[in-house]
Structure 1
Amino acid sequence: MKKLLLLAAFSALLFACGGAQQEDQQSENSETTDSKPEAAASPDGVGKFKDVQIPATLDAAMAEKGKSVYEVKCSSCHKLTDERLVGPGWKDVTKRNTAAWIMNFTTNVDEMLNTDPKAQAQLEICLVRMPNQNLSDDDARHVYEFMRQNDGIK
């Protein structure tokens, strides 16, 4: 059993390190060819959500739906505190990121990780790409409202 766990841990480490080497090689190639301009940082990230208007008061029904989505799709990697599990903790996440950025990240994970500097910086810390959870736009909005509730918005 110990050998199996050790093998799994080594494989995960090798996979994480191998991805970084591949990214380094891609960066070197793009620097020499200049074929792809570097993405400009946007407070809203990359995706369809732009300047999302959020009311000052919490929508409890939305937050409850968001909690259900969190429990099914998010809780195995994210804690509601500032503690990192696989992904970062969610405490104060709505104070650090715009609603549009969070909703773009949760619905457009791959493109955000490939082009958004803030998402890429988070990936460097966590070393694991967030899998696409196929959240609908409504799910993303509900999860955002649950995050607000977690951050103390009433």
Structure 2
Amino acid sequence: MKRTILIMSALSIFLWSCGGAEKRAESPATDDSALLKQEEVHGTEVKEINLTNPLDQAMVKEGQAIYDLKCSACHRLSGDRLVGPSWTGVTTRRKPVWIINMITNVDMMLEKDEEAQKMLETCLVRMPNQNISEKEARSVIEFMRKNDGEK
């Protein structure tokens, strides 16, 4: 009984976090800058990423805000898996380029990357497109690094 309630709660949270598509569809971009921004967010594979040492605290703060708003419904910072995998140790298991592409280009990753496909088989829920830009994803990685104990 408890397991059924937990699964239903997680599914409800997931569906709630994916809402708003109707509003986005009703208000299409009308200028070139909005179209360009959309193209920057998705579809371009990131080939290289430069990490800071020490951590950039402004990026950590921005990354945590993005996590709180868009990621925490499915991912936990502790070792527990919710809908998606836990973020504990993610920066030691995955390369930064892999992480940023998974955040910004989830469709491409699920199509081409064997590890991403394995995660989908384990989690049984496809990661939704959260419209996170490359710059925002870079901040999320900085927050992940802090969560993994980097200074």
Q: Quick check: TM above 0.5? A: yes
Query: 2:70 corresponds to which residue?
Result: 73
CA distance in 1, matches of 2:65, 2:52: 21
Matched residue type, 1:72: L
Q: 1:140 aligns with which of 137, 141, 150?
A: 137
Counterpart for residue 80 of structure 2 = 83
Equivalent position amino acid for 2:138 in 1? R
- Runs of 4+ residues deviating >2 angstroms: none
Q: Are 2:50 and 1:53 equivalent residues in the alignment?
A: yes
**Distance (whole Å) between structure 2 residues aligned to residue 47 and residue 116 of structure 1:** 15
Match of 1:149 in 2: 146
Aligned to 2:106: 109
Q: Equivalent pairs: percent with the same residue? A: 50
Give the equivalent residue in structure 2 for 1:22. Answer: none
The Cα shift of 1:53 comes to 2.0
Q: TM-score, normalised by structure 2?
A: 0.70
- Mapped to 1, the partners of 2:60 and 2:97 lie a distance apart of 17
Residues 98-142 of structure 1: CA deviation (Å, up to 9, x unaligned): 111000110001111121101001111101000000101111000
- What stretches of structure 1 of length at least 5 have no aligned partner? 13-45
The amino acid across from 2:73 in the alignment is: S
For residues 136 and 47 of structure 1, the distance between their equivalents in structure 2, rounded to whole angstroms, comes to: 11
Separation in 2, partners of 1:84, 1:113: 19
Question: Are residues 1:100 and 2:121 paired?
Answer: no
Aligned-pair Cα RMSD in Å = 2.1
State how many pairs are aligned.
Answer: 115
Alpha-carbon separation, structure 1, partners of 2:117 and 2:106: 11
Task: Choose 1 or 2 for highest CA Rg.
Answer: 1
Q: d(CA) in 1 for partners of 2:61 and 2:85?
A: 21
Q: 2:125 aligns with which of 119, 128, 133?
A: 128
- Pairwise CA distance, 1:47: 4.9
Write the distance in 2 (CA, Å) between the matches of 1:81 and 1:47. Answer: 31
